[in-house]
């Protein structure tokens, strides 16, 4: 998934959960910024490395909390970093690195962008979500609030 897909889907998830959208966007961008940065500097074999493992998102959340002392911001950063892994799942993701070594580290092309139907579809969905949430944010918030209060009424969720 590329930029629009990552940002759009994470903006949706963060705002549905009443978390910081900025935190979610920072979190979803971190794995690529860190790993592609490490690759460019020669410290990673691939554009998907340590920040694309499942051990990264709790660390990202904890560091965000230490820096900001803001729980909802830190949870949003962790959520964004976690969602990044799910959003990259169409390709190789080193989920268990460094516990497990990955063969694709030897062959991967770190900055190759392929415009597969998945990538094109998720970019389009991400863009539409951003436009919808940005332009119609009042309507979006009232739909979100109505869905949450309905879920609370029927007892599926407790107060957030």
Provide the binding-site residues for Zn ion, judged by CB under 5 A: 31-32, 88
Nearest approach, Cβ of residue 148 and Zn ion (Å) = 30
Nearest approach, Cβ of residue 32 and Zn ion (Å) = 4
> Considering beta carbons, is residue 49 or 148 the nearer one to Zn ion?
49
Longest CA span, the chain: 54
Nearest approach, Cβ of residue 159 and Zn ion (Å) = 35
Say how far apart CA 91 and CA 118 lie, in whole Å: 10
> Considering beta carbons, is residue 3 or 143 the nearer one to Zn ion?
3
> Considering beta carbons, is residue 72 or 125 the nearer one to Zn ion?
125
Say how far apart CA 2 and CA 54 lie, in whole Å: 19
> Considering beta carbons, is residue 88 or 92 the nearer one to Zn ion?
88
DSSP H helical segments within the chain, as ranges? 3-16, 21-41, 56-68, 71-87, 104-107, 117-135, 137-153
Nearest approach, Cβ of residue 133 and Zn ion (Å) = 22
């Amino acid at each position: 998934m590329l930029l629009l897909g990552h940002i759009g889907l994470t903006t949706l998830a963060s705002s549905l959960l009443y978390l910081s959208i900025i935190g979610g966007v920072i979190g979803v961008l971190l794995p690529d910024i860190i790993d592609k940065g490490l690759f460019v500097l020669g410290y990673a074999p691939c554009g998907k490395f340590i920040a694309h493992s499942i051990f990264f998102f709790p660390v990202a959340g904890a560091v965000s909390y230490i820096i900001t002392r803001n729980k909802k911001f830190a949870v949003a950063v962790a959520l964004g970093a976690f969602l990044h892994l799910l959003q990259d799942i169409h390709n190789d993701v080193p989920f268990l690195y460094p516990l497990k070594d990955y063969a694709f580290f030897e062959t991967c092309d770190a900055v190759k962008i392929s415009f597969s139907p998945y990538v094109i579809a998720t970019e389009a969905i991400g863009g539409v979500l951003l436009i919808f949430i940005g332009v119609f944010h009042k309507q979006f918030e009232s739909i979100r609030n109505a869905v949450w209060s309905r879920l609370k009424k029927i007892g599926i969720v407790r107060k957030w």
